[in-house]
Amino acid sequence: MSEQPRILLTGFTPFGGEDINPSWEAVRVLDGKHIGGHRVISRVLPTAFAQSQRELAMMMDELAPAIVLGVGQAGGRSRLSIERVAINVQDARMADNSGAQPIDEAVVVEGPAAYFSTLPIKAMLKALLAERLPAEISNTAGTFVCNHVAYLMLHLAAKRPGVRAGFIHIPYSPSQAVRFPNAPSMGGEDVLRALSIVLEIATARRDDDRFGAGTLD
């Protein structure tokens, strides 16, 4: 019997003085699960530019995943954000966990200006909203380590025929949000449910739905 195709699902270490990163707290629970005929392999990436680049490349070589989904935290966002695009820019307003703070540098020198997600983002959004989970299509993954990793996932996937990749941001966890007045949050059970849904869609669909989910600003 042939081995099931793999999903590489990544989260991040805590950063910015936080004790936890809800991306890894959610992602690690799904390690070893079977979704849509694929086996999920969860890995944690350092919230550091250079180290995450090296470790992601090794993971992709080791695991040869069919689907790669990165998950990161975007404190202040009120919805689960399915990222449409990752850009070839590192512009850090704060230092990463290694102390590096690249300004206006390329993720990949002479790489494309941007990559679009190769996952069915509109179908994912539709499925999440049908389950009354707050979600949106996001047109910016920022310019910190999350965008850096999202770009690298798509760059590496582009070199591997048939491999698809994308990135999702999640809000603060409730335990984090209590420290910030009026900050939105999302509970761990909802994040887990949302990630399971989007992975089901990713394994089942190569085409995408077509409906308006853009923004005016």
If phi > 0 it is left, if psi is from -120 to 50 it is alpha, else beta; for residue 99 that is: left
Q: How far apart are CA 64 and CA 25, in angstroms?
A: 24
The kind and range of the H/E element at 86 are strand 85-87
- Pick the catalytic residue from 83, 105, 136, 148: 83
Q: Is 155 a catalytic residue?
A: no
The string of DSSP letters for 151-177 reads HHHHHHHHTSTT-EEEEEEE-B-HHHH
Kindly name the residue from 38, 148, 155, 169 that is annotated as catalytic: 169
Catalytic residue, chosen from 146, 148, 155, 189, is 146
| 105 labelled catalytic | no
Catalytic-residue membership of 146: yes
* CA 136/CA 124 separation, integer angstroms: 10
Asked if 170 contacts 186 with a C-beta cutoff of 8 angstroms, the reply is: yes
Q: Which two tokens stand for residue 15?
A: 């950063």
Question: Which amino acid does the sequence have at 79?
Answer: R
Distance CA 24, CA 5 (A): 22
Give me the active site residues, please.
Answer: 83, 146, 169
